[in-house]
Amino acid sequence: MACTILVIYHSQTGNTRRMAQAVAQGVAEMEGCQARLLAAGRAGLEDLLSCQGLAIGSPENFGYMAGMVKDFFDRTYEQARGRKEIFKKPYVAFISAGNDGSGALSSIERILLGYQLKKVYDPVIARGGVTEEDLERCRELGQTIAAGCQAGIY
């Protein structure tokens, strides 16, 4: 059975989408793993329940996560809460920030704590424009969560 990592993101300018695509590429590079890349507005509870790990990306908007990412959380939280398929599921985060990204990251991490998901790697925060170095770090982020899920260490 393939290890599936759900990569959810929202992007207005294309920066976060590029980061999400790099995360998904990193996942796909790992043997036996596949990425399910979805815009946050299209993702739902079943997507979250059926994956082995979650990578969530957002731009920083007014020091907070994107509204569509928050909308995903709003639509899935009550039904996901307490489900064994969710408990300690690994996650990673990536942020495209015009400022420092800490507000967007903090809001995502606070909500995922309520889901009882487990943060397994440091986030990637691209400050300003997204560079090739940022995209490489996103590929590594995808590889890391995929490899850990595939090996059963998360």
**pTM, rounded to two decimals:** 0.96
- Tally of CB atoms within 10 A around 20: 28
- Residue 78's alpha-carbon distances to 24, 82, 123, in angstroms, are 27, 9, 25
pLDDT of 53 > 90? The answer is: yes
| CATH number, residue 59 | 3.40.50.360
- Summarize pLDDT for 20-31 with one digit per residue, the tens: 999 999 999 999
For residue 154, which of 64, 89, 59, 110 has the smallest C-alpha distance? 89
Structural domains of the chain, count: 1
Helix (H) or strand (E) holding 149: helix 132-151
**58-64: average pLDDT:** 94
User: Whole domain around residue 144: which residue ranges?
Assistant: 3-151
Q: Where are the alpha helices (DSSP H) in 29-131?
A: 45-50, 67-80, 102-115
Burial class, 31, CB count within 10 angstroms (exposed 0-12 / middle 13-18 / buried 19+)? exposed
Token digits of residue 153: 């260490």
Cα separation, 118 vs 91, in Å, equals: 6
Token digits of residue 61: 């908007």
Token digits of residue 37: 């890349």
- Whether residue 115 contacts residue 86, with contact meaning beta carbons closer than 8 Å, is answered with yes
Handedness of CA 62, 71, 114, 117 (dihedral sign): negative
- Summarize pLDDT for 97-148 with one digit per residue, the tens: 988 999 999 999 999 999 999 999 999 999 988 999 999 999 999 999 999 9
pLDDT of residue 123: 97
- Summarize pLDDT for 3-17 with one digit per residue, the tens: 999 999 999 999 999
Q: Name the band, by pLDDT with cuts 50, 70 and 90, for residue 1.
A: low
pLDDT of 82 > 90? The answer is: no
